[in-house]
Amino acid sequence: MRKLGTLGVITAFVLGVSGPVAAQSLDRLAKAMGADKVKTVHIKGSGFYYHLGGSSLANEPWPKFNLKAYGFTANYETASAVIDLTLTQFLNPPRGAGFQPIRGELKRRARISGDVGWGINRRGRTQASRSKAPAIHALWTSPHGVIKAAQAAGARVTVHRSKGQNFYHVNFAKAGAFKARAHFGPDGLLRKVTARLANEVLGDMRAVTTYSDYKTVDGITFPMRMTLSYGPYPVLDVRYSDVKFNLPADIKPPKGLKPRRQRVKADKVADGIWYLTGGSHHSVAIEMADHVIVYEAPLNAARGEAVIAAVKKTIPGKPIRTVINSHHHFDHSGGLRAFAAEGATIVTHRTNKPFFVKAYAAPRTIRPDRMAREGRMATFLGVGRKHVISDGTRRIELYALIGNPHSESNLIAVLPKERIMLVADAYSGRQFAKKPVPKNRVNPTRAHLWRTLVRLGIDKRVDTVLPIHGRKSNLQQIRWSAGVK
């Protein structure tokens, strides 16, 4: 039994020794935070943003961007939120994902209303969210969101004593999105929220939000600084410059918002080579003598499963034994586990292997996928600068784009007999040029790709290019994208 005799200056929250306490203490935390007075909040700020799962090498932190403007609006009565990020280029030279180098500004816009999530992409198009979990997490781990979510869940407060002071913990969850523990200080103010958030690559991904620099705004005590980390690295570091309570916030899903469906179109490019398109990220199926190899398993489990179904329909009777991961960026690796569950070996650059092994060992309790449900383990083959796959009838050469700013471990695939190259992100078939890009507009990632192709003599051995983004292209387009005549 701890000694409770001389407590000194303890706030009105003194409730005794560690252990669960009555629900009324949640109301006291709510009072300390002024939550009963808050229906909506509008926040503006600035700081830094970091792109989850987008480092150049798998063991590096998520790449950093200037967060020129941060906008967050929450309506707790309608369970809705708007998150607007205005980014500018930070890293010089550019390194990693996130459409670097950003020329001017890039906007990232996410919205949630009840269980409908949507976003507005960088071209201004409104689309249903691929994953609603981050926006749901942002809404209910905001300072007053925590209280409201905990109250709605009938959560209990646990008291923990440390250095003679009482600290308060509240556990709550939003099914399918996250589980969290909120940490309140002796003053009853929210300091930290530790959560597990569903992520396609990292599983139950650790997400830690911190709040500090409390000020009184309109009679309500509110933090002016927040940080958020996903996995081991930061994703947000924001200083609030403007906080307003209870302004109107009418956040409704746009009319005619279509749910995301996985369409996969199989186009035959050469004998036994199929370009599997139909979404933002493509795959390529390569028919071998007695099995199939798939290059790229992007996005998420749903995309992975849709691509697998398309392969089985297009090339019936042959198992998918190998899936080649171009690079570890989460939008290019989120579907790998669906292939692993199918029994395919994951071929990836050797620097990615320890990253994936660790990520796949994490629990997946929030949104279990097929691998987690079936208790399967993935098999990896880590490759180096060059790796050849051949069964006597077909040859696939993999080359790592060592030194490429976008991803140093990116694997391109060359099919020498068919004179076809497969490439993700280092070149994109979204834009088609009519002449070489002016030197001062050349993306360093494209320039590096072209130099590598020339150095390895691949430019002499390839005509057709199947990019993972955009549409079927050719070698001249890669050369022009690098500003070479």
CB of 425 to Zn ion, least distance (A): 4
CB of 412 to Zn ion, least distance (A): 13
Residue ranges in 204-263 that form contacts with Zn ion under rule CB under 5 A: none
Using the rule CB under 5 A, give the single segment among 57-65, 89-97, 282-290, 339-347 that binds Zn ion: 89-97
Q: How many CA atoms lie within 13 A of 59 on its CB side?
A: 8
Total interface residues for Zn ion by CB under 5 A:
3
Burial class (CB in 10 A: 0-12, 13-18, 19+), 463: exposed
CB of 441 to Zn ion, least distance (A): 20
> Between 11 and 50, how does the x/- string for binding to Zn ion read (CB under 5 A)?
----------------------------------------
**Between 366 and 412, whose beta carbon lies closer to Zn ion?**
412
Q: How far is 333 from 325, CA to CA, in rounded Å?
A: 6
CA geometry: angle 9, 12, 14, nearest 5 deg: 80
Diameter of the chain by CA atoms?
Answer: 83
**Between 342 and 425, whose beta carbon lies closer to Zn ion?**
425
CB of 424 to Zn ion, least distance (A): 7
Tell me the sheet residues that pair with 106. Answer: 87
Burial class (CB in 10 A: 0-12, 13-18, 19+), 296: buried
**Between 329 and 349, whose beta carbon lies closer to Zn ion?**
329
**401 within 8 A of 418, measured Cβ to Cβ:** no
CB of 222 to Zn ion, least distance (A): 37
Rule CB under 5 A: say whether 139 interacts with Zn ion: no
CB of 31 to Zn ion, least distance (A): 47
**Between 214 and 399, whose beta carbon lies closer to Zn ion?**
399
CB of 409 to Zn ion, least distance (A): 10
- Chain mean position to CA 387: 29
CA geometry: angle 328, 84, 128, nearest 5 deg: 65
> Between 96 and 135, how does the x/- string for binding to Zn ion read (CB under 5 A)?
-x--------------------------------------
How many other CB atoms sit within 10 Å of the CB of residue 326?
28
CB of 407 to Zn ion, least distance (A): 5
CB of 330 to Zn ion, least distance (A): 9
Block residue for tokens 């009963």: 36
Residue type, 122: R
Rule CB under 5 A: say whether 296 interacts with Zn ion: no
**Between 55 and 75, whose beta carbon lies closer to Zn ion?**
55
**Between 97 and 182, whose beta carbon lies closer to Zn ion?**
97
**Between 87 and 97, whose beta carbon lies closer to Zn ion?**
97
Residue ranges in 323-342 that form contacts with Zn ion under rule CB under 5 A: 329
**334 within 8 A of 299, measured Cβ to Cβ:** yes
Using the rule CB under 5 A, give the single segment among 106-114, 417-425, 427-435, 459-467 that binds Zn ion: 417-425
For the stretch 390-405, what's the b/e string if a residue is b when 16 or more beta carbons lie within 10 angstroms of its beta carbon?
Answer: eeeebebbbbbbeebb
Using the rule CB under 5 A, give the single segment among 224-232, 260-268, 421-429, 449-457 that binds Zn ion: 421-429
**Between 282 and 329, whose beta carbon lies closer to Zn ion?**
329
User: Residue 10 to residues 23, 163, 164, 167, 234: CA-CA distances in angstroms?
Assistant: 20, 11, 9, 11, 33
CB of 89 to Zn ion, least distance (A): 16
Q: How far is 55 from 407, CA to CA, in rounded Å?
A: 7
226: tokens are 């927040």
**Between 183 and 406, whose beta carbon lies closer to Zn ion?**
406
Using the rule CB under 5 A, give the single segment among 73-81, 233-241, 420-428, 473-481 that binds Zn ion: 420-428
CB of 423 to Zn ion, least distance (A): 11
Q: Is residue 178 classed as helix, strand or coil in its secondary structure?
A: strand
The H or E element containing residue 32 is: helix 24-33
**C-beta nearest to Zn ion: residue:** 329
Sign of CA dihedral 404, 198, 205, 302: negative
375: tokens are 């208790």
Rule CB under 5 A: say whether 425 interacts with Zn ion: yes
Q: How far is 50 from 92, CA to CA, in rounded Å?
A: 15
**Between 287 and 425, whose beta carbon lies closer to Zn ion?**
425
Q: What share of the chain is helix, strand, coil (3-state, %, to 5)?
A: 20, 40, 40
- Closest by CA to 170, choosing from 31, 30, 72, is 30
Using the rule CB under 5 A, give the single segment among 76-84, 95-103, 351-359, 464-472 that binds Zn ion: 95-103
CB of 426 to Zn ion, least distance (A): 8
Binding site for Zn ion (CB under 5 A): 97, 329, 425
